[in-house]
């Protein structure tokens, strides 16, 4: 049932994961784009996850190139397209959570470098991305997930996507505080508060056209969003542990498939660390880094009924998720609390 465990990844040190940074850097194109699929394509969110993995391990030039790619490929309305091959758009729809995640990556880089010039340099990019997403915010506080190729709004609201946007808004507000962008800060704090309220009271708002509750992300991303007070976490953790957790393996991507995935297990590890359950968080991290090839590069996941790595892919963002989870669990850098604590002061 369990994969062969010959992992030599040491998540307690940056040096113990250095090979993951080298792996991501060898994938990166000269443009700064970081492919995540076998066909060489990527989407902006996965790209930024890989950028943060690089930055965590000290691959500063490569991380900066990845941020520059975002700056250079942003659309005039503040969005990015759904997917790219290098810098060539492949799908022309625009997802709202893709437009905001730049704030998380830029804030993460700032936390590592403690240099306000980084925030100044990327401010316009962050600002435009946030404004694009907030233009899709409904009166109910939720943010529509997508514009199609004709710029028609898809009125569905995704709980996972909005949870990611909430964290992005949090980081954007923190950037405002450092740069003294008081007007944007005030407006964005109101939007952030409305969004958190929607996430904390999701019934009748999210995933109305398609039930996505079978995906584990819908249960741990709200934890990472910061929307819930301590007494409201029980429903989320009960669901995760009863329907998605496989003891000794990790977290399933979807509840009805015999498939644990490295990224979901890593991200869920961060969520449990945020809740203060350090033992379980570390267990999940160790589960994640056990699903690797002979060179200690993480596969996407493990199909535990067929006993195979599946699919036979090792996405760059999957390695990055392991890196970020290791930092959160073991306080390896100045950015280790990024997903654990609120980033702006009230």
List, in sequence order, every beta strand (DSSP E) within 159-310: 245-246, 250-251, 259-261, 301-303, 308-309
CA dihedral 229, 235, 237, 241 (to 10 degrees): 180
DSSP H helices, 226-345, are: 234-239, 262-275, 278-288, 316-330
Q: Would you state the pLDDT for residue 321?
A: 98
318 burial level (CB within 10 Å; 0-12, 13-18, 19+): buried
The domains of the chain are located at 15-330
pLDDT digits (tens, 9 = 90+) for 181-235: 999 999 999 999 999 999 999 999 999 899 999 999 999 999 999 998 777 899 9
| Architecture (CATH level 2) of domain 15-330 | Alpha/alpha barrel (1.50)
Greater model confidence, 7 or 14: 14
pLDDT digits (tens, 9 = 90+) for 91-107: 999 999 999 999 999 99
Q: How confident is the model at residue 292 (pLDDT cuts 50, 70, 90)?
A: very high
């Amino acid at each position: 049932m369990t994969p062969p465990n010959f992992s030599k990844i040491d998540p307690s040190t940056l040096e113990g994961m250095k090979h993951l940074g080298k792996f991501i850097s060898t994938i990166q194109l000269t443009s700064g784009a970081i492919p995540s699929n076998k066909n060489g394509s990527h989407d902006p969110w996965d790209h930024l996850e890989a950028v943060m993995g690089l930055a965590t391990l000290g691959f500063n030039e490569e991380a900066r190139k990845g941020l520059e790619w975002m700056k250079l490929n942003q659309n005039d309305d503040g969005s990015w397209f759904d997917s790219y091959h290098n810098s060539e758009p492949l799908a022309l729809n625009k997802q709202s959570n893709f437009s905001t995640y730049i704030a998380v990556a830029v804030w993460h880089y700032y936390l590592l470098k403690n240099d306000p010039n980084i925030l100044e340099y990327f401010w316009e990019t962050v600002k435009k991305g946030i404004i694009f997403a907030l233009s899709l915010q409904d009166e109910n506080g939720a943010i529509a997930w997508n514009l199609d190729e004709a710029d028609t709004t898809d009125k569905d609201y995704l709980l996972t996507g909005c949870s990611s946007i909430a964290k992005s808004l949090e980081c954007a507000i923190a950037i405002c505080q450092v740069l003294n962008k008081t007007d944007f800060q005030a407006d964005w704090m109101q939007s952030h508060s409305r969004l958190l309220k929607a996430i904390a009271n999701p019934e009748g708002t999210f995933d109305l056209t398609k039930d996505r509750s079978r995906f584990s992300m819908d249960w741990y991303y709200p934890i990472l969003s910061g929307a819930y007070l301590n007494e409201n976490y029980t429903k989320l953790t009960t669901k995760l542990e009863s329907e998605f957790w496989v003891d000794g393996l990790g977290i399933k991507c979807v509840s009805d498939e015999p498939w644990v995935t490295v990224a979901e297990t890593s991200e869920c590890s961060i969520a449990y660390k945020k809740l203060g359950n350090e033992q379980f968080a570390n267990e999940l991290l160790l589960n994640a880094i056990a699903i690797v090839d002979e060179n200690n590069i993480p596969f996407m996941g493990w199909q535990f009924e067929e006993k195979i790595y599946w699919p036979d892919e090792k996405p760059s963002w999957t390695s990055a998720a392991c890196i970020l989870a290791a930092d959160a669990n073991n306080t390896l850098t100045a950015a280790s609390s990024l997903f654990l604590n609120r980033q702006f002061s009230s």
